[in-house]
Amino acid sequence: MENEWWEELLRCAEGMFILEEKSKKIVWANSFFTETLKTPCVGEPCWKVFLRRDTPCPFCPNLSEQEGVYVWDYYEPQSRRWMKVKHLVFRKRGILYRAGNINLIDDMMRLNYETVHEISMLQSVLTKNENRMVSLTKEAIYDTLTGLFNRNCFHMDLEQNYAKASGIGILYFDLNNLKLVNDKFCHTAGDELLRRMASVLRVVCTQTENAKCYRIGGDEFVLILTHSTEEALAHCAELFMGYMEDYNRGRKHLCSVALGRAFSEGPCDMELLVSQADHAMYQCKQKMKDLMKEEAP
């Protein structure tokens, strides 16, 4: 294909770039970034150009040993937009590079039935019945505020997908003081804490094999690992706490979380395992309260 054809084709694409893997500095980017960001990209680190960060992203996947295209979703809190990211590492003249493609996708946390219906009306290839089925399916398994799987999906998975699985690990989370934040600062502030919590859980899931996360109550979340180990479960918990600390930095309302975990090497009574993780979470919550009393003047 002629070079000028490629140039015109790349202008139609969303964010495409190539960066040097070690330094994370951009060596090429298509016009999408310069036209959208209104700033030069080449020679600058990706985390500075794309996310306006002063330091490298802690959630960036290590792809040095990755074969093929690595796909992951990222929620950018400031713009409240979802990005689908595709990365591929390759070596040229002894230097390791990363090719990337970034596409903006709709914010699942703001979708409701009316929005889904309006979008479906624009898609001529779908019938009204098919559109309604899509909407009802989403409402049945997704939490509308956070975009995570909901309590209905959680119980269906407990019965159908986890009952005979091995290496089951459960992390049970409780968002502290949500009612206090709602009462003192309004529900908008509380909703933002819930979305921030969900964003961190989603990042952890993208970097953990066989992980799935749910919002099962007002301030309660569960992450389940399958075909895993107790060590991997502990690492997943550490990963979550590290990312939560990073997300809290500079925020007005801190996202404080009590965490409990439980693990079973073989098939087990899932309701019992969830109960064990729930109990461990409440023990953690009580320790946090006791510590606050000791530190109080």
Least confident of 70-79, 120-129, 214-223, 237-246: 120-129
Q: Which domains does the chain have, with CATH numbers?
A: 3-105 (3.30.450.20), 107-141 (no CATH), 149-295 (3.30.70.270)
Distance between CA 16 and CA 13 in Å, rounded?
7
Average model confidence (pLDDT) for the chain? 81
pTM score: 0.55
Pick left, alpha or beta for residue 28 (phi over 0 → left; psi -120 to 50 → alpha; otherwise beta).
beta
Q: Give DSSP secondary structure letters for the chain.
A: --HHHHHHHHHHSSEEEEEETTTTEEEEE-HHHHHHH-S--TTSBHHHHHH--SS--TT----TT--S-EEEEEEETTTTEEEEEEEEEEEETTEEEEEEEEEEE--GGG--HHHHHHHHHH-TTS-HHHHHHHHHHHHHHB-TTT-SB-HHHHHHHHHHTSTT-SSEEEEEEEETTHHHHHHHH-HHHHHHHHHHHHHHHHHHHHTSTTEEEEE-SSSEEEEEE-S--HHHHHHHHHHHHHHHHHHHTT-SS---EEEEEEEESS---HHHHHHHHHHHHHHHHHHHHHHHHHH--
Please report the pLDDT score of residue 291 as a whole number.
81
Contact 19, 26 (CB under 8 A): yes
Contact 181, 253 (CB under 8 A): yes
Q: What are phi and psi of 166, to 5 degrees?
A: -115, 160
Give residue-wise pLDDT tens across range 145-177: 999 999 999 999 998 889 888 899 999 999 988
Percent of the chain at pLDDT > 70 equals: 77
Contact 263, 277 (CB under 8 A): no
Give residue-wise pLDDT tens across range 178-202: 888 888 888 888 898 899 899 999 9
Give residue-wise pLDDT tens across range 238-271: 999 999 888 888 777 778 899 999 999 988 899 9
CA 241, chain centre distance (Å): 14
Q: Token match 């925020």: residue? A: 251
Return the axis-axis angle of helices 187-206 and 178-185, rounded to nearest 10°.
140
Give residue-wise pLDDT tens across range 82-94: 777 888 888 888 8
pLDDT(19) > 90: no
**What is the dihedral angle through the alpha carbons of 205, 206, 211, 216, rounded to the nearest 10 degrees?**
40
Produce one character per residue of 195-234: b if its CB has 16 or more CB atoms within 10 Å, e if not: bbbbbbbbbbbbebeebbbbbbeebbbbbbbbebeeebbe
Instruction: Return the structure tokens found at 50.
Output: 């794309």
Rg (alpha carbons) of the chain, rounded to whole number: 22
